[in-house]
Structure 1
Amino acid sequence: MKKQVLLCCLLATVMGANAQWKPVGDKIKTKWAEQINPAAVLPEYPRPAMERAEWKNLNGEWAYAIREKGGVEPAAFDGTILVPFAVESSLSGVQKTVGEKNELWYKRTFTVPASWKGKQVMLNFGAVDWKTDVFVNDILIGSHQGGFTPFSFDVTPYLVNKGEQKLVVRVWDPTEKGFQPIGKQTSRPEGIWYTAVTGIWQTVWLEPVAVNHVTAIKAIPDVDKELVDVTVSAAKCCAADYVEVAILDGGKQIATAKGVAGKALRLAVKSPKLWSPENPVLYDMKVSLFSNGKKIDEVSSYTAMRKISTKRDANGIMRMQLNNKDYFQYGPLDQGWWPDGLYTAPTDEALLYDIKKTKDWGFNMIRKHVKVEPARWYYHCDKEGILVWQDMPSGDHGNRWEPHVYNGGTDKNRSDESIANYYQEWKEIMDLCISHPSVVMWVPFNEAWGQFKTEEVIAWTKKYDPSRLVNPASGGNHRACGDVLDLHNYPGPNMFLFDAVRVNVLGEYGGIGLPLEGHLWQQGKNWGYVQFKNSDEVTAEYVKFANELKDMVKRGFSAAVYTQTTDVEGEVNGLMTYDRKVIKINEKAVREANQSVIRMLE
């Protein structure tokens, strides 16, 4: 009888917690919003490229408060927020604006599992936008500045002996009032600019580690030499410590190497199976850390054998190559926004859905536009097989843009603080993506938005990762550096400049609009670069543009990016609606058109 009462109490508690949270607002939502369980929000391990067996998810309902900037922890909080959805989103259960004059406070408690005794406890954040201060048991333990990348703190010294631990997070985000990268965010959304995002927007979790433990893995393949260079970073290592890396194919170990942390280990992968969108072969990887001959840490990872490069073809045109073969890259501009979660997909299934649809439509590439995704998104791209161009989120705007000439427009005269922050956040973004085979191109600037010291930034980017291509300024201002000349033209494709030294690509075109009643973010003010009345008209225009593009492939284009994957807020030029409930094109016809363009370089 006591067991039944206890069970009923537990069920009532869970049901009460579930009833407390609900999406707010009257905006459209995806089907996945209905699948969210507040007690198990985004339960998947958030870092597949460096996974540990033990961990504890801290997503769920936290207390929140919005207070004037510069104050202390509130005595009372305003209510509950569902982490990790930004406070402005419907799925947060709050949907309130913070603004540059206020700070967002979070509070919750957690317990450390008894089985973790003797271990260091790491507190990990997937991403928080923008400036974050973290308190454990009323002690400020650390801060992080950056809205798109993960960071961690060792909270062990600040834990009390038993019971619940208090965790408080303070966030300040000035959005476009600051100099930091913001991408498409604004305090006044309209047109191509979207709702601001503030606070925690990726998974928060705990994991136990040894004092000496693996902190990062960098794996860079060399297809020509049949090698992978793997650099393992580790915390608090001493002279007796070493790392061991093993590569496995189907569970069978095919290569292994040992060495000290921080030094590249070279592993031979004989007769490698090459990764491509058509055959996305991944090799499992085990990374272990030993101290005095004893294994004290082990993480699971993976790698792939893939090469991205450029080479002149028989006609003297510089082409992009994948695994030493000319390869036309074709994909959509992907903003990565959600009507219910804003920056955050409601579920992992939703995160994967857009990638799968992109492949269904016959594309082989995605341009991730002025946004960075959670680590699981890049893992899905690796596993599904799709190439990724990774943009740096833009910020500190104010340049003159001249996209139709060489060396036109102006570079922004940014402050030293703004420049230092750019490099810090860009480096962290590159570190996040650097081992993912799907990521083949870095895009430091888009359409002159905050573009500064272009040649220096491109040289730094190329030096930091010489294994990938660098697209210096998608859509201009065009400078004679990097690997790519990237043109933008709307609505149809157009080649109005040509570079004989670098690869030529069409970084944006299209924007065919179709507003669909019942699937709109707002009434009125919906737009596309051109608008049509039904799916047949949109499909016909899309296929027409694809056929025009084929001639430009012959003349020199090596890639093209169609705008865009989904509608986003007031933009109705997606291949599907913002709520992902309606595909707006004839999928078979679009797939055939896309494949016919890609085959132009086979």
Structure 2
Amino acid sequence: MLKPLTTPTRDLLSLDGLWAFALDTKVGPEPWKSRLDTHLEAAVPASYNDLFADQEIHDHVGLVWYQRTVRVPRGWAGERVVLRFDAATHAAAVYVDDTLVIKHDGGYTPFEADLTDVVVAGEAFRLTVAVDNRLTNVTIPPGKLTVGPDGKERQSYFHDFYNYAGLARSVWLYSTPVTHLTDVTVTTELDGGTALVSYRLATSEPAPASVQLVDESGITVASGEGHAGTLRVEDPVLWRPGAAYLYRLEIEIHDGARPVDVYELPVGIRTVAVEGDQFLINGEPFYFTGFGKHEDSAIRGKGHDNAYLVHDFRLLDWTGANSFRTSHYPYAEEVLEFADRHGIVVIDETAAVGLNLAVEAGLTGQPPRPTFSSETINDQTQAAHAQHLRELIERDKNHPSVVMWCVANEPSTNEDGAREYFEPLISLTRELDPTRPVTMTTVIFATCETDRTADLIDVISLNRYYGWYVATGDLETAEKLLEADLRGWAAKYGKPIMMSEYGADTIAGLHSVTSTPWTEEFQADFLAMNHRVFDRIPSFVGEQVWNFADFGTGAAIHRVDGNKKGVFTRDRKPKAAAFALRERWKDLRGRKPVTQEISRQEISRQRSHDVAAQH
């Protein structure tokens, strides 16, 4: 599915703004057949939960309704008219006047409906959207519904971030020619000093096509004819972490000598590979420094906001971070486009978080249930998961910033049924995109001895909290446990290992002369302990702190005003740990292009020098 653009043959109309809004409990049957009977208005894009000073809306489980009037531009007569939602969390049904035009399941990937036969250029239509926030054992992410004594549904879920819902990303109306480009796939390789840029086009019907690759100065460096081919670029400028360079692939679909559709795609020339225990970008060892993040801010919830986008990326640069993971769902495509332009490396993750019922047992005190069974995570869940992977890769396959797919976060890969569940999904990921490595983040219950899926993935990504959830506050013991854990994985698998989560909850402004949990001093000491261990593991390829910023969670006895593991507060104020990371990561980034192993030697030499200087 192509991202809609304004081109010489395509027009684009934003439908963002204020929409009429109502809970399903406040409207009658078939509310799409008339104007919504409500005085409420909701901002789009934004999650609806925190927009209103209303407990009922905040806690609502089930459908909500959005509605607005849309006028099709009169100049679109004879064109194809398409309605696109960048996302609707978690499921949607869309009506144009009285007609259902599309349904979609999955809260973080786009979907669209062809309205050519149901709307008229120059005329208005009533657009109504039902959005459903409910999660069950067969949705991604999963959850559980129960009915309370008042007859209302109650939602529980197995992930530790708030279940924000609604139209959190943009909505568009756009036009294309009747004969149009429907898809483009670009891959890049290096052959000595030459880049090979392969492309594959799909069109709505057979039609000649031509392409040209243009550099940032506007010079055409290669061109080709047909729906598939390989362009050779001599002495290419590569897309590199911290030094993005983007070519532009200009595509024309022809009707005789006349172009009937024009589209363009940014292209970053770079390679990604895993060799032995190294992660390579452009054939050079790469060491991840960065964060797990969230799309989360006050009032907006998961609503995309360009001001936060710019500020968050500046904070990434300020800390010296070179990467982040889209924990725990695909982020808005604008985020990846920004990463493309600014050289930030991305691990792109599906919304498969919570496939771990051991966590449910720990949080609720209930007896543990098997994660994989006909009554829990089952074949229907797996099918939904596969569809999430298809839509993620279809959307993000051309982004040079995306260097690895993450199939799931912290699933119970130590349980019976895990391999049967994940092996087909990992195979599907490789089939859909054979050019990028594949990973999953591994929960602490899954050790190198009990995990059943690590041989299927390319990079071992570990979520570990020694010193916080295990050996709380005892960093001396935590250091020994962590090193033993990492060395066990390294010895057994011989693959690259990275820490995809490590962190400690910290109350901003809480201080102590001793290293006490919840203080800013403890968070910095906790990270330093982890870093000492990382630097002793030769196959270690990266560290991504959990989390970039504090974020909202559901009501829980172990959470006060959300998750506090951020090195920045929810409103992006730095804690002491942010300065400690800046000191470490700026130093690491400054050593490029020295290899990781030499960097470790240099770290050791500098530490010896520092100790000598102190004495």
TM, length-normalised to structure 2: 0.77
Counterpart Cα distance in 1 of 2:119 and 2:334: 30
The reply on whether 1:330 has 2:292 as its aligned counterpart is no
Assess if the C-alpha contact under 8 Å between 1:472 and 1:481 holds in 2. Answer: no
Change (3 A) 1:156 1:326: same
C-alpha spacing 1:379/1:170, structure 2 compared with 1 (3 Å): same
- Tell me, in whole angstroms, the C-alpha distance in 2 between the residues paired with 1:343 and 1:95: 19
Query: How do 1:412-561 residues align onto structure 2 when only pairs under 5 Å count?
Result: 414-448=377-411, 453-475=421-443, 476=446, 477-479=451-453, 480-491=455-466, 494=483, 495=486, 496-499=488-491, 501-516=493-508, 531-534=517-520, 538-552=523-537, 554=538, 556-561=539-544
Query: CA shift at 1:416, angstroms?
Result: 3.4
From 324, 331, 337, give the equivalent of 1:379: 337
Does the residue aligned with 1:229 lie in a helix, a strand or coil?
strand
1:352-389 deviation line (CA, Å, top 9, x unaligned): 32222122211211111112111110011111111111
Q: Report the counterpart of residue 594 of structure 1 in structure 2.
A: 585
- The Cα of 1:498 is off from its aligned counterpart by 1.9
Partner Cα distance (1:530, 1:336) in 2: 30
* Residue in 1 that maps onto 2:113: 153
| Residue correspondence of structure 1 range 216-235 to structure 2 within 5 A | 216-224=183-191, 226-235=195-204
Q: For residues 184 and 485 of structure 1, do their structure 2 counterparts lie closer, same or farther at Cα, with a shift above 3 Å needed?
A: farther
Q: How does 1:81-96 map to 2 (within 5 A)?
A: 81-90=42-51, 96=57
Q: CA deviation at 1:223?
A: 2.3
Alignment of 1:53-72 (within 5 A): 54-67=11-24, 71-72=29-30
Residue 378 to residue 530, structure 1, CA distance change in 2 (3 Å): farther
Distance change >3 Å, CA 502–CA 212, structure 1 → 2: farther
Among the aligned pairs, what percent are the same residue? Answer: 21
Report the Cα offset of residue 351 of structure 1: 1.5
**Could you tell me how far apart the structure 1 residues matched to 2:567 and 2:354 are?**
30
| Amino acid of the structure 2 residue aligned with 1:80 | E
Amino acid at match of 1:392: T
CA distance in 2, matches of 1:395, 1:192: 6
Aligned length: 523
Corresponding residue for 1:123?
A: 83
- Shift in Å at residue 565 of structure 1? 0.3
Alpha-carbon offset, residue 390 of structure 1:
1.4
Matched with 2:209 is 242
Structure 1 residues 105 and 588: CA distance shift in structure 2, 3 A: closer
331-340 or 71-80, larger mean C-alpha shift = 71-80
| Aligned partner letter, 2:46 | F
Question: SS of the residue aligned with 1:359?
Answer: helix
Task: Give the 3-state SS of the residue equivalent to 1:267 in structure 2.
Answer: strand
| Partner of residue 265 from structure 2, selected from 286, 301, 305 | 301
Give the Cα–Cα distance (whole angstroms) in 1 for the partners of residues 45 and 501 of structure 2.
33
Query: Which is worse superposed, 180-189 or 284-293?
Result: 180-189
> Is 1:169 matched up with 2:129?
yes
- The aligned residue for residue 205 of structure 1 is 172
Distance 1:596 1:188, change over 3 A: farther
Q: Give the aligned residue type for 2:567.
A: L
1:95–1:338 distance in 2 versus 1, CA, 3 Å: farther
1:89–1:95 CA contact under 8 A, matched in 2: no
Q: Hey, which of these two has a bigger chunk of helix by percent?
A: 2
Q: CA deviation at 1:483?
A: 0.8
When normalised by structure 1's length, the TM-score is 0.79
Aligned to 2:576, what secondary structure does the other structure show? coil
Unaligned runs of 5+ in 1: 1-45, 313-317, 402-408, 519-528
1:275 partner amino acid: W
1:75-120 Cα shifts (integer Å, max 9, x gaps): 54332111121221338999814755x3222211111222223222
Aligned to 2:239: 275
CA distance in 1, matches of 2:160, 2:323: 24
Corresponding residue of 2:7: 52
| Aligned partners of 2:212 and 2:220 also within 8 Å | no
**Equivalent pair of 2:102/2:112 in contact (CA under 8 Å):** no
**Aligned Cα root-mean-square deviation (Å):** 3.2
User: Unpaired runs of 5+ in structure 2?
Assistant: 146-153, 360-369, 467-478, 553-561, 600-615
Deviates more, 1:497-506 or 1:335-344: 497-506
Work out the CA distance in 2 between the residues paired with 1:268 and 1:299: 21
1:254: which partner in 2?
A: 221
State how 1:307-386 maps to structure 2 within 5 Å: 307-312=271-276, 318-345=277-304, 347-386=305-344
